[in-house]
Amino acid sequence: MKKRRGSLVYGPVPSRRLGMSLGIDPTPPLTCTFNCIYCQLGKKRHVVRGPEDVKETFPRPEEIAAAVREAVVHHDRIDYLTFSGAGEPTLNPRLAEAVEAVRAASEIPIALITNASLLTRPAMLEAAARCDLVLPSLDAGDRETFLRINRPASGFEIDAIARAIGELARRAPIRLEVMLVASKIGETNVDPEAIGNIIEKIKCIRPQEVSLNTCVRPPAEPVDPVPEERIQRIRERMEAELPGIPIVVVSTRPRARSKLLGGEEIAAAILRMSSVRPCAPVDLADALGLNPAEVGKYLARLIESGEVSRRVQAGRVYYVRAKEH
C-alpha cells in the first residue's frame, strides 16, 4: 500500500516549540512503539517493537523530498521541516536517507520529534544525529512510571533509552521534552519521587535545554493538564538541581507567522492539520493568517459535511478530522 504524496506533509502548523513547522509524516498512521496515556491521536493505535513489525509500506525518501519541495514553494515562512506526524517517525527504516533527501530539497532546518525509543538502535541514532534539532521525550526516570505513562511495546527499558538520548546529546542539539500528566485514574509523573527520578536521568543526558509541557489538546484518555503553579514549582526544582541546563515551560500558544489564501486551500489545510492533532480555532487562525471568525465559517461547513468533528477538553473546543474521511 502506497501513501499519496499529499499525505506526507501537513501545515505549516503553529508549534508551541518550533514556531511555524511543516510536518513530515514518514510512518503509517497511528503506528508507534508507545501507547502513551496522553496521546491525542485516538485509541486505535498500532503498538510495535520496530519497523520489522509494521505491515504497511513506508514512504520512500524521494517521495518525502518531492512532497516537501512542492509544499515549501507555497509558504513564505517555515521555521522547521519537522519529521513527526501521526506515528513514531523513527520507525521508518530509511529515515537517514529521508533526512538527507529533504536537506537536498530545501535549506530550511530539519527537526525530529521522537519518543526516543528506537534511538537505542545504532541506525536510528545515526539518522537522528543528522537533524539540525531533535526533540526527544523523557516522561519517566524509573521503570514503573515509564510503564504506566508511556505503556511501551515489549522490550523497551527506560535506562537504555536515557543512555541513547545522552549519546545523541553529544552528537546533535537536543531539547529534551518532558510531558507532565495527571490522570483521572491516578496515573501521574509529577509526584516528588517521579520528578526526582527524571532529574537523575537528565543529569546523565546533559541536554541543551529541557522543555516542560502538559496536555493542552484533548487526549484519548482521561488525562488532565497539570496546573501552571505546579509546573512552575517543578521548573524551580529542576533549575536548582540541574545548574547550567535551561528549563523552559512551553507556551500554550504560538505566534502566527503564515498565511494561506484560497478557500479550497484553507479547507484542505484545516483537514490536514486536524487529521494529525486536535486543533482549536485559534490554532487554525494562527496557522492560516485568518480571523478566528473566518476560520469558524470553514469549520461550520466541514462539520456540516461530516469531515470534522468536535471534542471538548477542559471547557475548550477542539476540532478533529472525522475517521471515515
* Average pLDDT estimate for 176-194: 89
Burial code of 221-260, b = ≥16 C-beta within 10 A, e = fewer? bebbbbeeeebeebeeebeeebeebebebbeeebebbbeb
| Residues 113, 28: Cα–Cα separation, whole Å | 16
First to last CA, the chain: 18
Q: For residue 286, which amino acid is it? A: D
| Residues 72, 67: Cα–Cα separation, whole Å | 9
pLDDT digits 0-9 by tens, 263-312:
777 888 888 778 877 888 877 876 776 666 678 878 888 888 888 988 87
Task: Assess contact for 38 and 220: CB atoms under 8 A.
Answer: no
| Residues 225, 103: Cα–Cα separation, whole Å | 36
Q: What angle do CA 278, 288, 320 make, to 5 degrees?
A: 15
Least confident of 20-29, 34-43, 100-109: 34-43
Task: Assess contact for 138 and 198: CB atoms under 8 A.
Answer: yes
* pLDDT for residue 165 is more than 70: yes
Higher pLDDT, 131 or 262: 131
pLDDT digits 0-9 by tens, 67-118:
999 999 988 789 999 999 888 999 999 999 999 999 999 999 999 999 999 9
* Average pLDDT estimate for 131-159: 97
What domains are defined for the chain? Answer: 5-249 (3.20.20.70), 263-321 (1.10.10.10)
* pLDDT for residue 3 is more than 80: no
Per-state percent for the chain, helix, strand, coil, to nearest 5: 40, 20, 40
| Residues 143, 201: Cα–Cα separation, whole Å | 12
Beta-carbon neighbour count of residue 55 at 10 Å? 9
pLDDT digits 0-9 by tens, 204-256:
999 999 999 998 766 667 788 899 999 999 999 999 999 999 999 986 554 44
* pLDDT for residue 138 is more than 70: yes
Q: What is the pLDDT of residue 251?
A: 63
Least confident of 20-24, 36-40, 214-218: 214-218
| Residues 126, 130: Cα–Cα separation, whole Å | 7
Q: For residue 317, which amino acid is it? A: V
Q: What is the pLDDT of residue 256?
A: 43
* Average pLDDT estimate for 188-196: 96
Least confident of 131-140, 252-261, 266-275: 252-261
* Average pLDDT estimate for 192-208: 97
| Residues 85, 40: Cα–Cα separation, whole Å | 12
* pLDDT for residue 5 is more than 50: no
**Region of 314 on the Ramachandran plot (φ > 0 left; ψ -120 to 50 alpha; else beta):** left
Q: What is the pLDDT of residue 39?
A: 86
Grade residue 257 by pLDDT with cuts at 50, 70 and 90: very low
* pLDDT for residue 175 is more than 90: yes
Phi, psi of 120 (to 5 degrees): -70, -15
* pLDDT for residue 260 is more than 50: no
Q: To the nearest whole percent, how much of the chain has pLDDT over 90? A: 58
Residue with cell 503553529: 14
* Average pLDDT estimate for 38-62: 88
The grid cell for 213 is 509541557
- pTM for this one? 0.78
> Mean pLDDT over all residues of the chain?
87
Task: Assess contact for 86 and 110: CB atoms under 8 A.
Answer: no
* pLDDT for residue 1 is more than 50: no
